[in-house]
Amino acid sequence: MSGPVPGAPGAVPPDLVPPRRRRQRTYSGRSLAIAAASTVVFFTALAVVIVNAPGWTQVQRSFLDGEIFLEALPDLIGRFGVNVRLFLIAEVLILAFGLVLAVMRSLPGPVLFPVRLLATVYVDLFRALPGLLVIYILGLGVPALRLPGVPNDPFFWGVVALTLLYSAYVSEVYRAGIESVHPSQAAAARSLGLTQLQAMRHVVLPQAVRRVIPPLLNDFIGLQKDTVLVSFIGVVEIFRESQIHQFARFNFTPYLATALVFLVLTIPLARFTDWLIARQRDRRFASSVRASGDRARRGRIMGWFGRGGTDR
């Protein structure tokens, strides 16, 4: 890794230690003990302050009623199935529609200008509009037209609205990925006779999609939370269910239970996303080391998503 240092055999100057090892050294032994002690003291003090604050008993009664919590939780988890169905269906549609939009915006050439224009206007529009507005217009406005053959199921319109909204964001994520693939890759594909679309499909997109998986997951965390907005057009899902419980008992604990359900879903996904990002950073670090002349093997950081054939 780093060469021998003149005058200090075996010693490695701190600047030459790669970040990973330095971090390990920092968090070893004494500093770890200090961090643990400081954490315990800080949070104990915080808890004492909160519990002794004026109004704590009211807060406890209104938000932290154990009995109401246990009573509401099974209903809430049951209703959460509606949210899960909503975002799972929407996610599949968003992945596909977002990709179509991104590819439309990435096609070069003057002939395809209208295609690019259309996609650009769409993305600008749906990123600019508040989500709740779109959900209202589609979920309440469109069924009110009473057009023959147009469904009036609020769940259907919820899926449509979320798909339209989030596809705009997701297409931008895809597009960043497409643009991060070096143009020499497309040039190499074209030089072999592949068409524009074949080069996109077989060479650019597979590399782009792998790179944008973490930011895509990030957008999906947002989507999963936004499923509660659909309650405003009449879908009875977890938020509406907690409202029903709140009205019945004049107590806010059901909302806290709902919050907990979302935390349990979202935090692992957020941690997983962070882990993916860290892993990609490690891999980039490794390949930049290689590019500077070190041709060491790198089995450790082999592609997570397999080595990927073209269409196997």
Partner 1 sequence: MTAPALLVEDLWKSFGDLDVLRGIGLEMAEHEIVCVIGASGSGKSTLLRCINLIEPIDAGRIFVEGEEITADGTDVDLIRRRIGIVFQSFNLFPHMSVLDNVTLAPRKVLRQSRSAAEERATALLEQFGLADKRLEIPDRLSGGQQQRVAIVRALAMDPDLLLLDEVTSALDPELVGEVLNVIRDLAEAGMTMLIATHEMGFAREIASRVAFVDDGRILEAGPPDEIFSAPTEPRTGEFLQRIIEAGRL
Binding site for partner 1 (CB under 8 A): 184-185, 187-195, 198, 202-203, 206-207, 210, 287, 290, 293, 295, 297-298, 303, 307-310
Query: Minimum Å distance from CB 111 to partner 1?
Result: 13
Query: Minimum Å distance from CB 295 to partner 1?
Result: 6
Integer Cα distance of 115 and 106 in angstroms: 10
Query: Minimum Å distance from CB 171 to partner 1?
Result: 21
Residue type, 251: N
CA 37, 39, 40, 46 torsion: positive or negative? positive
The DSSP 8-state label assigned to residue 112 in this structure reads G
The nearer residue to partner 1, 61 or 202, going by C-beta atoms, is 202
Asked if residues 71 and 253 have their Cβ atoms less than 8 Å apart, the reply is no
The nearer residue to partner 1, 81 or 308, going by C-beta atoms, is 308
Residue 264 class from Cβ within 10 Å (0-12 exposed, 13-18 middle, 19+ buried)?
exposed
The nearer residue to partner 1, 15 or 311, going by C-beta atoms, is 311
Tokens of 158: 């919820």
The nearer residue to partner 1, 206 or 234, going by C-beta atoms, is 206
Query: Minimum Å distance from CB 286 to partner 1?
Result: 10
Integer Cα distance of 202 and 208 in angstroms: 11
How far separated are the first and last CA of the chain, in Å rounded?
38
CA 3, 6, 11, 13 torsion: positive or negative? negative
Query: Minimum Å distance from CB 189 to partner 1?
Result: 8
Query: Minimum Å distance from CB 85 to partner 1?
Result: 33
The nearer residue to partner 1, 73 or 194, going by C-beta atoms, is 194
Query: Minimum Å distance from CB 109 to partner 1?
Result: 11
Residue 110's CB is within 10 A of a number of other CB atoms, namely: 5
The nearer residue to partner 1, 146 or 307, going by C-beta atoms, is 307
The nearer residue to partner 1, 26 or 292, going by C-beta atoms, is 292
CA 7, 13, 15, 17 torsion: positive or negative? positive
Count of positions (residues) in the chain: 312
Integer Cα distance of 91 and 97 in angstroms: 10
Tokens of 147: 């057009």
